[in-house]
Structure 1
């Protein structure tokens, strides 16, 4: 706001320097000439009064000289009057210009006040936005911390899940191994049982003793069916 005031002040000082300062001594000269004119008028009046009392050639000569001086003074007075009128016109123009500049200054002042109010409103909005940004930054920091904690918990859960799956597969592998051992045992038992059964049937036939058969089919009962054999733990996992 102070910059445009300094600019207007500098412009007014420059205008005074170029238009007002050169005519400062004119008014002083005019006052001096008016004073001389009054003095000469007084002198002419005195001379006239003396010429009336004494009379003579010298008085007429002095009167002519004084008349010439009076005419010169009148001429100078006319010139000074013209100069004064010109200066008065210039002064009126300068006063109008000064009023114009004052109106512009008042308008600029109103605009400056409006801009100052707008600036204060913008500063208030900026401070509010800064407060909002600060709050959002704090919330973002909290969310990032929570996200970090969730990532850590998720990683821990993945590790626990992988550990649990590994142990479960290991247990199922052990179960499959036991089942395979049981199936192998059953197969070996069946392989051993077949010749024994044949030998037993032969002996029974020789002794004419009937074999124990099933009530419907009449076939000889065999051991229970062999449990399906599992090759590895993956088959158990897929079966489940």
Structure 2
């Protein structure tokens, strides 16, 4: 893309060197000579018209002197106008220069203000970078601590599950022991009821002949027999069904 552009630019520069640059001085000199010729033609026409009005014919030297004088006057006016124009332009340029100097001083002040603000922002940025670095370190430490806490929490949950499982097993064993104890107690109570019934039947059989003799003696002899059977036959005749020994065995 840039090769053909460079080629065209080089060809245009060569054309300017060959066709335009050699004639720059010629065109400038021609324009000056044309201006001078117009001035002299105008001065000569004025001079001839004035000579005809006065009816005088002057020689060539006088004409040339008048022509040079008028040309000098015209050039002086033109130079004066040029000087005036240049003075005006110079004043404008001076005013513009003062304006741009004021703008430059204003821009300098703004640049100084911006430089101070930039330095402040750099210091603030450095503080923020230091704060971010510290917070990054704290965040890394907190992440490590969080990881350790997660591991401890997982271990605690595992320990909790293990303890809960162990507690459930112990409670199940305790429930089994309690059920066995309740079963033994029920069996013992059932057997005790049977023994009581049997004892009552036996006591009733023993008290029948005594009751035939006299009612007063029957009441006096039956009560100690009942007490003796309750204390001796139950504990001595059936030692295997003791509730305390049964509970201890279970």
Partner-residue secondary structure (3-state), 1:223: helix
Q: Is 1:171 matched up with 2:177?
A: yes
Q: Sort the Cα spacing of 1:198 and 1:59 in 2 relative to 1 into closer, same or farther, 3 A.
A: closer
Q: CA deviation at 1:170?
A: 1.0
Q: Distance in 1 between matches of 2:99 and 2:126?
A: 40
Q: Is 1:160 matched up with 2:166?
A: yes
Q: Distance in 1 between matches of 2:186 and 2:84?
A: 144
Unaligned runs of 5+ in 2: 1-60, 236-240, 244-250
Unaligned runs of 5+ in 1: 1-55, 230-240
Deviations 1:43-75 (A, max 9, x none): xxxxxxxxxxxxx62434423322322232222
Count of residue pairs the alignment pairs up:
170
Aligned partner of 2:110 among 104, 107, 111: 104
Aligned partner of 1:199 among 201, 205, 208: 205
Aligned partner of 1:140 among 118, 140, 146: 146
Q: Sort the Cα spacing of 1:194 and 1:60 in 2 relative to 1 into closer, same or farther, 3 A.
A: closer
Q: Distance in 2 between matches of 1:65 and 1:220?
A: 179
For 1:223, the equivalent position in structure 2 comes to: 230
TM-score, length basis structure 1: 0.59
Q: CA deviation at 1:127?
A: 2.0
Q: Sort the Cα spacing of 1:185 and 1:91 in 2 relative to 1 into closer, same or farther, 3 A.
A: same
Question: Which of structures 1 and 2 has the larger relative contact order (alpha carbons within 8 angstroms, sep 6+)?
Answer: 1
Q: Distance in 1 between matches of 2:198 and 2:167?
A: 46
Q: Distance in 2 between matches of 1:194 and 1:61?
A: 183
> Which of the two has higher C-alpha Rg?
2
Aligned partner of 2:77 among 71, 76, 101: 71
- Normalized per residue, the structure richer in helix is 2
For 2:119, the equivalent position in structure 1 comes to: 113
| Superposition CA RMSD, Å | 3.4
Q: CA deviation at 1:111?
A: 1.0
Q: Distance in 1 between matches of 2:81 and 2:212?
A: 186
